[in-house]
Amino acid sequence: MLTIENLTIGYAGVVILDGLNITIPQGKITALIGPNGCGKSTLLKTISGSLKPTKGKVSLAGQDLSKLSHKTKAQLLSILPQSPITPEGISVRQLVSCGRNPYLSHWGGLSQQDRDEVQAALIETGLCDLADRAVDSLSGGQRQRVWIAMVLAQDTDYILLDEPTTYLDLTYQVELMEMMQKMNRRGKTLVVVLHDLNQACRYCDHLIVMKKGAIIAQDEPHKVFNSQLLKEVFSLNATIMMDPIANKPMCIPL
Amino acid sequence: MSRYKQLLFGGAMLLLMLAGISLIYGAQTLSINTVLHTLWQGGEQDFIVNDYRLPRILIAILVGTGLAVSGVLTQGIIRNPLASPDLMGISGGAGLAACTVLLVWPNIGSVWLPVVALFGGFSAALIIWLLSRWQQPSPARLALVGIAMSAFLSSCINFLLVIHPIEVNSAMIWLTGSLWGRNWSYIWPLLPWLLTLVPFSFYLAWRLDLFALGEETAQALGVDTQRLQIMALLSAVALASVSVAVCGTIGFVGLLAPHLARLLVGSRHQLVLPIAALVGALLVLSADTLARNLAPPLELPAGVLTAILGAPYFIFLLHRYKGW
């Protein structure tokens, strides 16, 4: 179980996250939602360890994550940043193989098991036919699938995704959400930053609602998602209805 | 044979050929037979071939390799196409330190010169690092800071030369990058640095590939990015400094060689490093061979020739670069 205790972080005297206490339920998909600049990405980066908290700690199964080595941590928890850089000319297979890094010895070199894991990730994401193509020649949706495949190859129990659907067509957004559900059914715990509230309700089991660096609510969608919350957090007048297909709450702005 | 092996093989052959040409031609042109005979058994041309041209060829290869690998590391870690040890003032710092010591203490000897140059190179790197910490620079701005640094350092060097008019000649030749009068005694101090730092850069190679995915992604994949940056930069500065200590500032090799190598084999550092090293060695060796043969017995500094090639390319890069 991933727990966050009294987490405080700020740069240059400005507090961005203020004393957060969060429990990420194991084996579920958790969505982080909130208006722009509320600290969602900062929270994700602090969980992954790329930002150091001023106070508080993040622990996984009772173990303080900041005490672990970079490599050990990368075997437990992976994060896909918002805009990773695609090096010119790198092939799909090469990029996906990067996910195996936490398991390699000092001099690198993939073992047979590493290669199998990479192949499995390629199959899982339907990229086998594109394996030898250059990533920068693919479409945005395919490219995002390559990054997801890299995270899959990393084979961690916890996966953090920072706005994975941004800049994607709706078709690819849905495809990505379904891929997340598939990963979840294999026992992965996911934490995603999402902008689309209806997608968050439909595809995620747990919502964490943030505003100005504080947690406003954290629970299952049908328990927290209501018009009061939308008014409070997003200053949005909306009505809540049940989505007739998935039977999850959805909002319609008024 | 894969295309990559063909490239490596072709490059090595070209280097060997160039070395042959360099042994044959010069102020006194020798026949192939004389050269081969002298290489094996010495003889009357022993001095020209074995003590004069051969060490110079080896130094050109070593220095070219050092500068190129330094360039690959610098560009890899700063993720800046305009970065290279000479454009960032690191070579300038090494040059200033070495020049100061040479003027004040002309008999310092070839063993201590690399150490002095290292000190200068690291000081320049430290200043650039502090400047970039103070203001997160864009690639172009970092290049500008480096160019300003280089200009400042070279004016310091000029100042030194003006107030020491008697020693000017030899220092001047050394500063524009020349292999004139470099014999075996310059190889031994250079060798241990290259023999440790070049393999070390191969050790860093696949971590640099991960670093190329962005600092955050590299961290997510378990790379200690801070340590990687420090190790790669220290190696890059050291490689550039010891190269400068032997030949002065042979400019643009650290910029050109990695670019050419990436053009040939893509962006993976494990593949780029050997090709860049070959290209660097070829560049310096051909520059030096030309420098010796354009107007014999006069010698041009090799650095002038690499600049003729490098400066237009740098302008091309600036032109192509859209991230202003």
Q: Rounded to a whole number, what is the distance in angstroms from the first to the last CA of chain B? A: 42
Contact: A50, B217; criterion CB under 8 Å: no
DSSP B76-119: HHHT-TT--TTTTTHHHHHHHHHHHHHHH-TT--TTHHHHHHHH
ipTM at complex level: 0.88
Contact, A233 vs A223, CB < 8 A? no
Contact: A90, B217; criterion CB under 8 Å: no
Instruction: Tell me the chain A residues in contact with residue B212 when contact means C-beta distances shorter than 8 Å.
Output: 85, 87
pLDDT of residue B175: 61
Note the pLDDT tens digit of each residue in B84-133: 887 788 888 888 888 888 777 766 666 778 888 899 999 988 888 787 77
Domains of chain B: 80-316 (1.10.3470.10)
> In this predicted model, which residue has the larger pLDDT, B91 or B274?
B274
Instruction: Tell me the chain B residues in contact with residue A48 when contact means C-beta distances shorter than 8 Å.
Output: 216, 219-220
Smallest Cα distance from A151 to chain B, Å? 9
Of A5-14, A83-92, B66-75, B225-234, the least confident: A5-14
Total structural domains in chain A?
Answer: 1
Contact: B217, A49; criterion CB under 8 Å: no
Residues of the domain holding A203: 2-253
Of A17-21, B4-8, B117-121, the least confident: A17-21
Instruction: Tell me the chain B residues in contact with residue A83 when contact means C-beta distances shorter than 8 Å.
Output: 214
Contact, A130 vs A92, CB < 8 A? yes
Average pLDDT, chain B: 83
Note the pLDDT tens digit of each residue in B241-272: 888 888 877 878 888 899 889 888 888 898 99
The pLDDT of B271-279, averaged and rounded, is 94
| Element at A5 (helix H, strand E) | strand A2-11
Please determine, for residue B228, whether its predicted confidence score (pLDDT) is greater than 70: yes
The pLDDT of A165-186, averaged and rounded, is 90
Please determine, for residue A224, whether its predicted confidence score (pLDDT) is greater than 60: yes
CATH of the domain at A233: 3.40.50.300
pLDDT of residue A185: 93
Among B177, B189, B178, which Cα is nearest to B118's?
Answer: B189
Beta-strand relationship, A189-193 and A158-162 = parallel
Residue A166 token pair: 């941004």
Instruction: Tell me the chain B residues in contact with residue A90 when contact means C-beta distances shorter than 8 Å.
Output: 266-268
Please determine, for residue A153, whether its predicted confidence score (pLDDT) is greater than 90: yes
Contact: B220, A48; criterion CB under 8 Å: yes
Contact: A98, B212; criterion CB under 8 Å: no
Average pLDDT, chain A: 89
**Nearest 5°: phi and psi at A56?**
85, 175
Write the CA distances from B160 to A183, B96, B136, integer angstroms: 67, 9, 33
pLDDT band at residue B239 using 50, 70 and 90 as cut-offs: very high
d(CA A169, CA A157): 28
d(CA B43, CA B37): 8
